[in-house]
């Protein structure tokens, strides 16, 4: 059993090293077992099913507005990637932008560039720049392969649970249950949730750069969270949350805005001081 456990540990380590990729816009190393060619077909199918169940908004003015903002962001992505020689990373993307009729305050971009913006979110994001901030954030999740990374992390968490079970196989049942519970809480609080918060912060920063290149003032990104913080409702402690606190997001976005403006200037976009 010990020999098997050591082999499994070695296999996990080797697989982790082989599957280490880089988020191009930030340089962060990530664990990713899932390729775009594997995840895109399922993503596109899921998107089509979603649109069958969620009606596209009949408000032509707002729909065209969302598409216009989305297309400007897509062009910003393409320009940024072309300038940096990363065009091959966008292979297989099938960009699409839709406004759906739903009161929820939500938006997402699926792997491969399928974007949805909910009408409910328009009650908070009232300016084009605020919409661009949210949409840029969601596009950034897709570009950074956060979905595939979360799948890979979940796979690693399952392997860790197997290792914990094997390592405690000779312990009393109650002791084994205790160690499995400790591993479960520890991996969730110490690995999965921090990674989720890291993803959100990374998408905030990337999205802010993209919105600036697209010509939207990156200062608006922090204002989105000023509005969100005024909606009420108590946030869970950050350590128990998948997202950074509103205050942390506002502070980070204000700190990062000058860098986004400097990058946008390279594309001929200049904002008033």
Q: Which residues are annotated as catalytic?
A: 138
Residue 42, pLDDT > 50, answer yes
Beta strand pairing status for 29-31 and 96-100? unpaired
Name the token pair of 149. Answer: 């990374």
Asked whether residue 20 is domain-assigned, the answer is no
The arithmetic mean of pLDDT across residues 34-55, rounded, is 89
What local confidence, expressed as pLDDT, does residue 47 receive? 92
The arithmetic mean of pLDDT across residues 96-117, rounded, is 94
Confidence of residue 235 (pLDDT cuts 50, 70, 90): low
Tally of domains within the chain: 1
Question: What range does the domain containing 161 cover?
Answer: 54-265
Residue 208, pLDDT > 70, answer yes
Name the token pair of 133. Answer: 């901030």
Asked whether residue 21 is domain-assigned, the answer is no
Residue 162, pLDDT > 80, answer no
Residue 63, pLDDT > 90, answer yes
Asked whether residue 37 is domain-assigned, the answer is no
Angle 258-260-262 (CA atoms, 0-180°, nearest 5)?
A: 70
Confidence of residue 261 (pLDDT cuts 50, 70, 90): very high
Asked whether residue 13 is domain-assigned, the answer is no
Asked whether residue 167 is domain-assigned, the answer is yes
Asked whether residue 15 is domain-assigned, the answer is no
Asked whether residue 84 is domain-assigned, the answer is yes
Percent of the chain with pLDDT over 90: 52
Asked whether residue 207 is domain-assigned, the answer is yes
Confidence of residue 176 (pLDDT cuts 50, 70, 90): low
Put simply, whether the predicted model's pTM sits higher than 0.95 gets the answer: no
């Amino acid at each position: 059993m010990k020999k098997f456990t050591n082999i499994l540990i070695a296999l996990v380590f080797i697989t982790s090293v082989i599957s280490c990729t880089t988020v191009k816009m930030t340089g962060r190393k990530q664990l990713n077992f899932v390729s775009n060619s594997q995840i895109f077909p399922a993503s596109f199918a899921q998107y089509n099913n979603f649109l069958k169940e969620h009606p596209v908004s009949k408000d032509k003015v707002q729909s065209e507005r969302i598409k216009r903002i989305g297309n400007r962001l897509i062009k910003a992505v393409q320009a940024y990637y072309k300038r940096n020689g990363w065009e091959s990373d966008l292979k297989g993307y099938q960009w699409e932008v839709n406004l759906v009729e739903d009161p929820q305050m939500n938006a997402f971009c699926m792997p491969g560039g399928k974007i949805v913006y909910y009408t409910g979110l328009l009650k908070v994001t009232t300016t084009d720049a605020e919409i661009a901030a949210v949409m840029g954030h969601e596009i950034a999740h897709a570009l950074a392969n956060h979905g595939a990374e979360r799948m890979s992390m979940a796979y690693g968490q399952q392997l860790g649970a197997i290792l914990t079970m094997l390592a405690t196989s000779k312990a009393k049942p109650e002791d084994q249950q205790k160690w499995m519970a400790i591993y479960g809480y520890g991996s969730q609080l110490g690995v999965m949730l921090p990674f989720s918060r890291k993803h959100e912060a990374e998408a905030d920063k990337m999205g802010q750069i993209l919105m600036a290149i697209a010509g939207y003032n990156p200062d608006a990104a922090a204002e989105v969270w000023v509005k969100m913080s005024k909606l009420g409702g108590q946030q869970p402690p950050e350590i128990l949350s998948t997202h950074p606190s509103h205050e942390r997001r506002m502070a980070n976005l204000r700190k990062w805005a000058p860098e986004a403006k400097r990058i946008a200037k390279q594309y001929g976009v200049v904002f008033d001081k």
